[in-house]
Each structure stands twice: as C-alpha cells, then as structure tokens.
Amino acid sequence: MRELAKKQNQDLLLIDSGDKIDGSGISDISKIHGQYSTPIFVKQNYDILTIGNHELYLLESSIQEFKAVQEYFPDNYITSNVEFNNNGTFVPFGSKFKYFETEIKKTRILAFGFLFDFKRFNSGTKVTPIKEEIEKQWFKDTLKQYQGKVDLIVIAGHTPIDHNWPEFYHLHKHLRKYYPNTIIQYFGGHSHIRDFSIFDKNSTGIQSGRYCETVGWVSIDLNKKDLETKERFSRSYIDFNLNSFHKHSKKDIKNFDSEKGIEVTKLVAKTRKDLKLNTQIGTVHSNYYVDYVPIDHPKNIFNLITNQVLNDLPGSGERIIIINTGSIRYDLYKGPYTIDSQYIVSPFENKWVNLTVPKSIATKVAEKLNEASYISTTRLKPPHHYLKKEIVYSDEAKDKKLSKGYVTHDDFGSNGDDTPHKPVINFDIPNVVQSVQLNNEIESFIDLVFYDFITPNIKWALKELNYEIQEGENPTNYSEIFLGKLLNNYIAEKSP
C-alpha cells in the first residue's frame, strides 16, 4: 500500500490505537502477557502508535511495554496523558507529541496520543484524564509553538469517538481555540465497534472495530480548500483477511507475499508451535455465543458457564458465584478446543475471592449490579455493549448468500463496510451473571464468590443494599483455579 501511494504521489500513514495483549494464546500464555507476541508486533513499521488500557493492568506488562517502546518505537510511540515510573520519575512511554513532515507531500503533521480516563492503572504508571492534561502548560506551549506550521493534526487514541463519549470532543473544542480551521483526524478505540464520526466540517474520527478484525481506512484531501466534509474525507472498514489485502494491494496470490511477510509468517508459526497452542484439549459439540442469542438461550455462553462450568469451582456449602460478562472475551465455537481457544474465550487469570454475607443479601447483589449504570459500577460488560450502533438492514445485507459480519451505520451512512455482510444481532446482556448454588431459602450466612477484579463493584452493591462491611474487612481468597481452567476441564470431561 505504501508503494501504491508513492506511485500516486500520496502519503500513507499506518496507525495503531492500543491494546496489544489479552485475548489470544500467543500473547497471554506467558507469565508476562505479550512476551511472545511483542517480537511479532514490532516487525511492523508503524508511523504512529499509542497505548491501550490492557497494557496498564499489571506492572509487569507496563515494564515490558516501556522497554519495547524505547527499543523499537522511540519516536513514533505517543502517549500524551499516560506515563511510566522510570526509576522514580514519571515519563511518557514514548513521547508527549510528535511533529513531522511526510515523505511524499511534505505535509506538516502535529500528532498526539490519548487514552480515555482509565482508573485501574498499576502503581508504576499514571493516567491523567484528557480534560486535565490539556490544561497543562506543556500542551498549551506545544499548540502555540506550531501555530501556522501545521497542515494536519492527528490524534491517535484508545478512546471512543462516539458522540456520547465526551473526552475527544472536549479535546477538540480545545484544539479549535488554537487551530480553528486546521484539518484534524482522530483515530479511536476501546469500545470495540466500527465507527466514523464527524467532529466538524474539517474534522472526523474513525474507529476500527476490535481484535484485529478490521483495518480502518481514511483518506483526506489536504489540497483543496472549502470542501464539504464528504468531499474531503472518505472511510472504509476493511475485513482483516487475505482476500481484502489481495484486492486493495492489487497483488494476486502468487505475487502478494513479501520477504518480510514470509519471515513474520514463519515466526508466528514457530511461536505457536513452541507454545503448543494447537494442542487439543477436547471437542466442543455446539457453538456458544456471547450475544448472538439471548442470555437465557441454550447456546448462550453465559448460560453454559453459570449452569454447568461454575459448578466445578472447588468449594463446599451454599454459595453464589458472580462474574462480570466482560470477562468472557469471545464466542466458543463447535469443533476442536485447543490451548489457544481457552485464551481467546477466557484469557483473564482472575483469582476468586469471597465474602460471607446473609443469603437474603447475597441473592440481591447481581440484580443490584445489573440495575447500575456504567458510572456507578465502572465497566463490567463487553465494551461493544456500551456504544452499540443501530443495525441497518439494506437489501444487500439481507442476501442469504452473504456471510455474517459487520453491517455498520455511522455519520457517513451505511456504505462503509468494504465487504457486504449479512448482519448479526447483538442481544443485550447484563453487567454480571451468577451461578446460584443454594439448597433452600432458610436464612443463613453463605459464600458470595466473585473475581477479585470486581471487588469494588461488589462492595458498591452491598453498600447500596444497606449491608455494611466492617471497616478494613476485605474479601478472602477462595480459589486460584481461574475460569479458563474450569472451562478446559469441563470440555475435556464432555469430550469423547
């Protein structure tokens, strides 16, 4: 694509919006997530990168990220509001901003990188909310310094571009004070949807789905003045597969592979083999979906987990076990279930903890959490359930011959999907689901069991139910057999 752009006297920038770990065996099987996937990721020649929240949950992951940034992307990695504690001093993972000229057109670009207001960063890192960071002197000085010297502002962020998510729009209002007419392009992330938003006549934002399923493509006409938004910008959501890449690179199958591409393919294959990711644990006899069927459907994965899998969590006595639905990462498909499958479906190694509470209280906790908004409980559901887009059923999309996939409606309409698909419905799912393992309705104290990750949410719900936890009282360890292992054991037992 760079070669094609160059032949047409155009520039092409490749941008990554963060989240490089959690969700596949190749990144998660190591004690420090990303140990084996990072050497693959750095093979790509990115122009701008930024950080995601998943690189910030654990200190070990952040240390690894910082070292990789310094070695491979010291100039192109931008974290304007995320810092790393480097020997007692907080510094950006890469740079606070980047100012550069493109190779072909000599376009002058000022780039920033912003993460949303993430609260659960580890002790060795720091995330400053966007609204606070942009009031700092360094940001104001930078904007003033390059006034009159910028053709395009690029914001690479792990932050949603949806109109209902205010952070980028607050940033945009601030940028317009210094650059009232400059073209600004936002690249968003985190909410796991395909999306394209108009910020104003000279500014748009794109978000490129999730899990490397989509390449988000934006083209911008920087040459002409006074163009309408749809004349200046265009966008496309390209399915991340070889058919798409053959088509857009104008290369057939025989001529597509590059020397470097073959090298990376071999590295991926060798890494998978060394990690034994294709080792089969068992066989799944039916598809189980996160949200393609209702929550109470026999083929809903949460139905399977709460009614079958969680019964095998070690422990005795009456109990209620609660998990947040966002802890399940993907659907469980019929067929061979491998070591890799476990990390795709349930990658998080959350420990189980418990509080001993009255049965009458424990039975109401899940209901209270499912009544709650995002603001009161923090994010519990899968990210794409917070900013779901309307599905538009065009005649083409109803074609039964089409494969199922994304049918996107955004600020530019319904023609953004590069490959037409038959739409899938994402049924609503709750914040949490529970496995109720009670013998009777007689009041007694029972174990309320949950992931340590959602401890603040459980405490919030108990407080809302007027159940007072003693000051300093914390959940006790219950089990370290995380859900992925329980799922492995269940599938192995059910396999012939």
- What is the secondary structure of 236-250 as a DSSP string? EEEESSHHHHHHHHT
Distances (CA, A) of 131 to 312, 376, 414: 46, 20, 32
370-393 average pLDDT score: 66
Using CA atoms, how far apart are residues 5 and 7, in angstroms rounded to an integer?
Answer: 5
Beta pairing partners, 214: 239
The pLDDT of residue 219 is 97
Q: Are 80 and 133 in contact (CB under 8 A)?
A: yes
Label residue 396 by pLDDT band (50, 70, 90).
low
Check residue 383 and give its pLDDT: 76
Tell me the C-alpha distance between 386 and 384, whole Å: 6
Q: Which helix (H) or strand (E) holds 265?
A: helix 259-275
* 469 burial type by CB count under 10 A (0-12 exposed, 13-18 middle, 19+ buried): middle
Write out pLDDT tens, residues 294-325. 999 999 999 999 999 999 999 999 999 999 99
Q: Are 418 and 239 in contact (CB under 8 A)?
A: yes
> Band of the pLDDT at 468, cuts 50, 70, 90?
confident
The reported pLDDT for the residue numbered 413 is: 95
Cβ neighbours, 10 Å, residue 387 = 18
Least confident of 328-342, 383-397, 423-437: 383-397
User: pLDDT digits over 140-199, tens only?
Assistant: 999 999 999 999 999 999 999 999 999 999 999 999 999 999 999 999 999 999 999 999
pLDDT of residue 1: 93
Average pLDDT over residues 478-495: 94
Q: Are 156 and 111 in contact (CB under 8 A)?
A: yes
Cβ–Cβ < 8 Å for 363, 56: no
- Report residue 374 as tokens: 């995002």
Confidence of residue 395 (pLDDT cuts 50, 70, 90): low
Which residue segments constitute the domains of the chain, with CATH numbers given?
2-270 (3.60.21.10), 278-388+426-494 (3.90.780.10)
Question: What pLDDT was estimated at residue 399?
Answer: 64
Q: Does position 471 have pLDDT exceeding 70, yes or no?
A: no
Question: For residues 229 and 386, which has the higher predicted lDDT (pLDDT)?
Answer: 229
What are the residue ranges of helices labelled H in 276-329?
Answer: 301-307
Beta bridge partners of 358: 445
Confidence at residue 397, expressed as pLDDT on a 0 to 100 scale = 54
Residue entry with tokens 């959501």: 237
Determine the Cα–Cα distance for residues 186 and 54; give it in Å rounded to an integer: 21
Give mean pLDDT, residues 9-29. Answer: 95
For the purposes of burial, counting CB atoms within 10 Å of the CB of 19, is it exposed (0-12), middle (13-18) or buried (19 or more)?
buried
Decide if pLDDT at 483 tops 50: yes
**Average pLDDT score over residue span 453-463:** 93
Structure tokens at 124: 């060795």
Distances (CA, A) of 402 to 223, 399, 472: 38, 6, 57
| Nearest CA-CA partner of 6 in 77, 104, 88 | 104
Decide if pLDDT at 388 tops 90.
no
Q: Helices (DSSP H) in 293-410: which residue ranges?
A: 301-307, 339-345, 359-371, 374-377
Q: What is the predicted pLDDT for the residue at 102?
A: 97
Per DSSP, what are the bridge partners of residue 112? 97, 155
Instruction: Answer with the residue of higher pLDDT: 378 or 193.
Output: 193
Instruction: Tell me the C-alpha distance between 309 and 435, whole Å.
Output: 9
pLDDT over 60 at 393, yes or no? no
Strands (DSSP E) found in 181-222: 183-188, 194-200, 203-208, 214-220
pLDDT at 375: 41
Lowest model confidence (mean pLDDT) among 99-108, 269-278, 401-410: 401-410
Instruction: Give the separation between CA 87 and CA 486, rounded to whole angstroms.
Output: 40
Per residue in 39-71, pLDDT (tens digit) is 999 999 999 999 999 999 999 999 999 999 989
pLDDT of residue 350: 85
Per residue in 232-287, pLDDT (tens digit) is 999 999 999 999 999 999 988 888 999 999 999 999 999 999 999 999 999 999 99
Provide the greatest CA pair distance for the chain.
Answer: 77
What pLDDT, on the 0 to 100 scale, is given for residue 71?
Answer: 92
- Confidence band, pLDDT 50/70/90 cuts, at residue 374: very low
Q: Could you give the angle at the alpha carbon of 408 between the alpha carbons of 406 and 414, nearest 5°?
A: 135
261 C-beta neighbours (distance < 10 Å), count: 12
